[in-house]
Structure 1
Amino acid sequence: MSVTAQISTVHGAPPLIYTLTLSTSRIQEVNSPGVTMTLNVSNTVSGSFYGFSWNVTDPSGSIRSFVYYVAANGPFLTLAVVYPRDFSGALVKYNGTYRINIFQTYPNPTALVATGRFYTGLTDSLSYQRTAQVFILAQGYASNENITMRILHAGIPASGFPISQLADGNGVFSYLWPIPVSTPLGDINVSLSGQVTVKKPPDSQIFTILPTSVSISQLVANLTLLQGSRIAAFSFAAVYPDGSQAKTGTTTIRVLEPDGITIHLVSMTYNTTVNAFEGTYRIASSDPSGGWAAIIDANSFDDVYGNVGPSTGVVRGFVVEPAASQNPQTSTVTYLLLMIVVLLAVALTFLVSWVLFFARKKVQRSVLKVDLQSIEREAARVQNRDFFGKVRDQLKQRQQAKPEEGAKDG
């Protein structure tokens, strides 16, 4: 804050120009670091003395003063004081407006040359997004005094309130409140009341709760085969600024075909088993192959409490192969069946070869047996047993030689 005023101090001399600057416009109920008030005075006369009285009125109406006398070393004079450090008996223990009045007491008769104000509150900010933490701080209570804190929205207590907590040994109360994602939006009142201490004005303040953001860093797309159909499965995690995950709400993603025009909508819902939002799209056999894309549009996700995201769109590409090449499992099964057929064919061929081999040997023995019987009949008929006896012996020898030749061939 800056306030400028002009006052003439010496007849014929340029008027003094006063500018008041504050280090901050708002603090919590705490003494340190306080508020630095800087007064710049222009057109001062070197060697002349100047006197100023700084008066600060707190919200209870109590006034604390600080008197400053200084000699100028040139045309500019800079004076700085800190509230409450430089003001005897001053404390920042009330919630509200602190008013500053600066009077020049010398050399002129007392004159108001600068004014200003700063505010003191219970919270470290006047507005918060959900999931942020509200730091509440107050002082001026008795040592270890029991303090009751209430947080209300439209007269209705926030979840978990009111609470009671002791001040520390110096009468300072502090509390950190993480704002739930479902906390009602708008103005919230926080108030403190001591079991013994009664403050006037009481510790009470309004602050505002705003929606928070939801980020979605990655969209996952997987192609699977289910009961002969191609399924595109999508999933993502929605995260709040404090790192916790959104578990409520829905969104619809756009699935874009390779032509860049045809769009399919997929509803995403939360799956408690995998802690993620999931949705699927069944790819028809008539759908085109090539590069597809899944898109989450900016601010299309809403967690049902008014917290939305992502701030920018999220895109994930995936490739759909032609239907004939989609089932690597079917190709594998076909290959295995082909191998089994080939092996069976080989085994059958081997078996038939062995059967034919043994069958041929059996036929040969039968033919030889028939030839011997015919010779016997012919020998009996012509009565020349000696001649046919020799022939029979030669044939028996030849018959005995056949198995040996077969064994060598095998």
Structure 2
Amino acid sequence: MTFSSTLNAFHGTFQIPLSSEVGAWAATVEVNSFDDGYGNKGPVSSVLKPFTVAPAILTVSATTNYNNYTVGSIVVIYASIVTPGGYNFTSGAVTATTYHSSTQIGSPLSLFYDQSRGKWVGSYTVNSTNPPGIWQIQVNASDIYANMGQGSTSTLVTVPASPPQQSSTFNYLLIAAVVVIAGLTILVSWIFYGRKRVLRKVLKVDIEAIHAEAKKVENQDFFKKVQEQLKQQRKENDNTPNG
């Protein structure tokens, strides 16, 4: 202990470890534990000062790497945790729980201590099913000795709206329409090409009939000419005098 002229008293400090037991403690000054070097000693009887030790309240400061995220973004959570004595809290359990309008998003995320940063770190990937808006991230720290603390931060998450899903009835109607259109197309094609084939057959038959009639006509003219020639010869024979 040292003498403080400001306090006009001797004073000393003692750092209570996080692993210390909680409950009733006492600071004592033993008999003749003070000596000024000139033979003056004291006290003549022990001095006792009781006090109570409670679990430590840890100071937690939470931050994120950015302030705005969207689907596929990685939200990195940092937590700086300090003991009442000003030392980094490096051993224990630290979790980050995310909320949107008091509704928890996913499961609590366990953070790990990054020695190089002197902070606890964890990450979460935003997916399309997450709600958009302001997210509250609460970080809780504790150890096996009941020392604990919590802190929070917030960030904005933007999730694009998903297109409305088509009902099964609409899908069935769409399929039915496609089938009907395909059927009509086949029917029209069959009628068109079928009629074309019939017209070709009828046209072919008509042409053959015309040729046949033409041949008949030609044959009739031929017989008429032969008959006319025979008549002419008969006339000539009748007009010739007998010798």
Whichever structure has more strand as a proportion of its residues is 1
**Normalising to structure 2: TM-score of the pair?**
0.47
**Normalising to structure 1: TM-score of the pair?**
0.30
Whichever structure has more helix as a proportion of its residues is 2
- Higher radius of gyration, 1 or 2: 2
Tell which has more relative contact order, 1 or 2 (C-alpha 8 A, sep 6+): 2
